Amino acid sequence: MAADEGIKQLVSTLPTKPDCNSTTNLLYQYQGFWYHQYYLEHLIAAQTHFTPEPNTTILCSYPKTGTTWLKALSFAITTRTHYTPSQSPLLSRFPHDCVPFFELAPSAARNKSLVATHIPCTSLPAAAAASGCKLAYICRDPKDVVVSLWQFLRKQKKEEDDAEDADMGIEEAFEQFCEGNSFAGPYWDHVLGYWRACLEFPERVLFVRYEELKRETERCVKALADFLGCGFSLEEEKQGIVQGIIDLCSIESLKGLDVTKNGRFAPTDSMPYTIHNSSFYRKGEVGDWRNFLTEEMGARLDNIMADRFAGSGLGLWFSASNQETTN
């Protein structure tokens, strides 16, 4: 869906900043967050036109926090009565195609019970709150997020520019992230929006921590299934259905598929570029930031997050995350 002239006019009036991290030169500030023009135009259109059903679940995330993994798990859980792991559409279709971003692919998302978004909670379409639909949000240690986002956009920028000088340093990307000016940032406000919604509407909003999903995958997958309204029976557990879904949706499994190796992500014809599906997977490890950031950089970001999360109840979550990356 192409943006109409009214949306384009609105976007042209917004504050902008250069983006060191992307093929797109500018980031536009809208409702307190920063976006590339193409994405923002679709976001604004979705605020008016997207209307979920009461039984819809929206998988919400900041980029590079476990989005693809959450999509794969949720899709496999909700379709398990139709497909065994060996028959799953995930073997031939990318998770972003199975669970479309409603702001980028509104036609594909229409009438779907499972959709996804990177939109902050405070900017979700009003119809989402009015419908009573559920939100499942995944977050991750910001130090790993900034590295994963840098690697993803760095690879994309090299593909688009086809030049070695298209590379950008981690220091520059880190600084932009710490200032809150990266895509969909500030990260802390993105997290806090969904955290507060979870506290206010715990029956409608699930808050998932990537590190916990990695450490206690089976328990988290069963909790996700319960939230999605299709919990596992004791018989299914005995039959190994839970573990079968975990294995199907593992990074190792999904990375090796032909659709990952050779497919490309292009949710709409108007998207100005396409993305290799393989770009959405890297290591998925907890604490990999130590291979790219200095201890001083890590401590600086920790302090920023501790200050931003103060009084929210997220301090305990953040402390636990830091503890896991040091063990």
Task: Provide the annotated active-site residues.
Answer: 118
Report the alpha-carbon distance of residue 17 to residue 164 in Å, rounded.
24
Report the alpha-carbon distance of residue 143 to residue 9 in Å, rounded.
36
Phi and psi (nearest 5°) for 236?
-65, -40
Report the alpha-carbon distance of residue 185 to residue 179 in Å, rounded.
9
- With H, G, I as helix, E, B as strand and everything else as coil, classify residue 135: strand
Tokens 């959450």 correspond to 70
Alpha helices by DSSP H, listed for the chain, are 5-12, 37-49, 67-78, 95-98, 106-109, 126-131, 142-161, 170-178, 187-200, 210-215, 217-227, 234-238, 241-248, 251-255, 258-262, 295-309, 315-326
